[in-house]
Structure 1
């Protein structure tokens, strides 16, 4: 009897949790497992702002799959760009640019999300994201380059625009990014004798009326006070209306001379979800509580790319796209895949959120573990303790802890690592959002292959 072919798309929290459980609970005789991912690591996304600030090295948050998996899973280096659910074929674009087709019996879709953008003039051409490891490293180089260029410039207008940084998005990613990079530039200013530290301006902009509303009014206000105490200008109820290479125009009419717009205004489901031709909700694939896709045989979806009912709230609400839910959904999907192979009943995904942590750098943090509101050093201890324990390998834990200790003792460094190019990289360049096929293109692609074969 031939082994079942299980294909997992995505090596984020959800995909990796699924693969690891499948490897532990399925015998090699039952199934062959393949994982589609552009890079052979799992990115620990919550610590990305600390990479951008230079507190952590990039490899600290890139947890090797080959080190932690049991070597049973075949890693396909590329990204899924289309799925033909009738032919049970996933179309994959390898990192070489070559397009290949991967047949499957059971498909697990955990491709994650992309940066959500809007039809704002100049946005996709001039904004910089914080969704991938490459973007974080690039952003660090860019910010330090602005200090270098401002220090060397004799033009006061140019200097002012290079020293003004605008972050859009008052969620966790935007708030932590603004806090960590503001701290970096404040410390760096002491190394630039020709720069007036008062010229370095940071702006955090969000259309919502409150900062990180999930934390509640009290902790949201504490976080807001911390940012403003550090000199970050926070503008709520405001967004961006236009972006150019040298200025950012806000919806309240202000024009900010700036060479840096960091865009963290939410995420959108991977465009892969639209290629299936199945029902979606705001781009996320609609799934049952068991994480199966209605009307589609052998397909499961989870994480940021799926609209997962939250049964702890009656099933009307959806699970938020957090790492906490993604990891647990990965294990639940693995159990559902195994149950499908063994003709056993499937169980719904059930998990109640355990709390939130926000690391603002230094000794500042706000946390809400199990509903308990904390700020300052206790919150920082909880935030870093949670992140450290969530890292999957001892090597990753050692690297992160060592980096934290070195930064605490030696402080920040301000060295550019050479990732800047003559042409500024865009969101599209980093996230490859133009690579996906339409459902019609997927159908034609698989039909042509059948005709040839």
Structure 2
């Protein structure tokens, strides 16, 4: 008899956590294990703003999937664009553009999330995200290029628009992005004697009434005060009405001349979720506490793409937030439950109490809430960086990140514009491939035609 096929979709915290656990615990001939991912690395997303600001190199937070001594997983270089649960087939678009059908007996869906956007005129054309390594590299090049171009320009209006930067989203990603990049431009402008530092303005806006409400009122206000003292203008209860190539209009009618709009206003589950035809909760797959998908044989889902019940809260209807902390631990539990299914053993529910939150604002500035203890300044920074460092999966990554931090602390920032992304289409759609997924009709046609050819 052929060995069962386990297919894991996604190489984020959840997917990689699952794969590594299965590699350690599967018997030598118990099952075949495959992983679908366009890149053979796990991206440590929480440190992406530090890549955008140049504190860390891109390679530091791209953790290779091929360094494991127990590496036994077949990596399929591509993205899952549809799942036919009746035929038990996952359709994968390889990085070459070729469509292939991957049959499975058990599938673990951890495709993660994409940037949440709205029907705002100009947003998709002029907004830049902070969700992928390519986006971070592009944003860094773009921000430094604005300084270069402003320095070379004789036009005051052009200088003004190039030296104003707008970040939308007052969550962790937006706040840390604005904080890190503002520090970069403040340090860089000293190398541009023709530029008036007062012309550089950063705007952080969010439709919510509070900055990072998950931190609580005190820490939220502390973070806001830190950013305000640095010169970042924070506007709450405000969003974007429309965006253009040289200006952005806020919903309160204010027009800000700018060539830089960074959009970090939340995430939504991967469009892959919509190809299953399953019940969802706010766009995420409605799964059991064991992370199985009711009514679908052999399907598990977790991470940002699944509404996993949060048993630790003890509240009816509570689901786990889409954080790395939960995703890593869900990956381990799903691996155990896949093994239990293979071995006809009972499945166990996922339960984990949140360990707290950390927000690195760059330099000596941070706010953290480990185990409910509120910290600010250097103690908070030590906790934030200590947490991220310990969460890195490989010793190589830990060494690289620590070296980068030490080098930045001693030598300061560098302002090199690499140009690698200069000719890359830079829209949200281009970076996150949100238009690559199959419709139900296309999915059925793809799996049916393949089945016919095999027959």
Q: Tell me if TM exceeds 0.5.
A: yes
Residues 23, 70 of structure 2: 8 Å contact kept: yes
Q: How does 1:9-408 map to 2 (within 5 A)?
A: 9-68=9-68, 70-314=70-314, 315-408=316-409
| Cα offsets for 1:234-270 (capped at 9, x unmatched) | 0000000000000000000000000000000000100
Cα distance in structure 2, aligned partners of 1:370 and 1:283: 30
| Cα offsets for 1:314-373 (capped at 9, x unmatched) | 342110000000000000100110000000111111101010000000000000000000
Cα distance in structure 2, aligned partners of 1:2 and 1:435: 32
Name the CA shift for 1:424/1:165 in 2 (closer, same or farther; >3 Å).
farther
Show structure 2 runs of 5+ residues with no match: none
Cα distance in structure 1, aligned partners of 2:80 and 2:208: 34
Moved more, 1-10 or 399-408: 1-10
Residues 89, 104 of structure 1: 8 Å contact kept: yes
Paired position in structure 1 for 2:4: 4
| Cα offsets for 1:60-83 (capped at 9, x unmatched) | 000011013622000100000000
| Cα offsets for 1:96-128 (capped at 9, x unmatched) | 111101000000000000000000000000000
Aligned partner of residue 160 in structure 1, secondary structure: helix
Name the CA shift for 1:26/1:420 in 2 (closer, same or farther; >3 Å).
closer
TM-score by length of 2: 0.99
Aligned partner of residue 312 in structure 2, secondary structure: helix
Residues 205, 238 of structure 2: 8 Å contact kept: yes
Cα distance in structure 2, aligned partners of 1:178 and 1:67: 33
Residues 20, 69 of structure 1: 8 Å contact kept: no
Cα distance in structure 1, aligned partners of 2:48 and 2:97: 27
The yes-or-no answer on 1:413 pairing with 2:444 is: no
**1:313: Cα distance to partner?**
2.1
Query: Structure 1 stretches (4+) deviating beyond 6 angstroms?
Result: none
Cα distance in structure 2, aligned partners of 1:398 and 1:151: 37
**1:438: Cα distance to partner?**
1.5
The aligned length equals 453
| Cα offsets for 1:211-238 (capped at 9, x unmatched) | 0000000000000000000000000000
The yes-or-no answer on 1:428 pairing with 2:429 is: yes
Aligned partner of residue 91 in structure 1, secondary structure: strand
| Cα offsets for 1:368-415 (capped at 9, x unmatched) | 000000000000000000000000111100000000000000000101
Cα RMSD after superposing both structures: 0.9
**1:27: Cα distance to partner?**
1.1
Show structure 1 runs of 5+ residues with no match: none
Paired position in structure 1 for 2:449: 448
TM-score by length of 1: 0.99
| Cα offsets for 1:34-75 (capped at 9, x unmatched) | 000000000000000000000000000000110136220001
Residues 90, 103 of structure 1: 8 Å contact kept: yes
Aligned partner of residue 387 in structure 2, secondary structure: helix
**1:312: Cα distance to partner?**
1.5
Cα distance in structure 1, aligned partners of 2:2 and 2:326: 34
Cα distance in structure 1, aligned partners of 2:131 and 2:144: 19
Residues 7, 106 of structure 2: 8 Å contact kept: yes
Moved more, 356-365 or 278-287: 278-287
Cα distance in structure 1, aligned partners of 2:285 and 2:323: 16
**1:2: Cα distance to partner?**
2.2
Name the CA shift for 1:300/1:423 in 2 (closer, same or farther; >3 Å).
closer
Aligned partner of residue 312 in structure 1, secondary structure: coil
Residues 138, 422 of structure 2: 8 Å contact kept: no
| Cα offsets for 1:107-153 (capped at 9, x unmatched) | 00000000000000000000000000000011000000000000000
Cα distance in structure 2, aligned partners of 1:365 and 1:114: 26
Cα distance in structure 2, aligned partners of 1:29 and 1:369: 42
| Cα offsets for 1:11-44 (capped at 9, x unmatched) | 0000000000001111121011000000000000
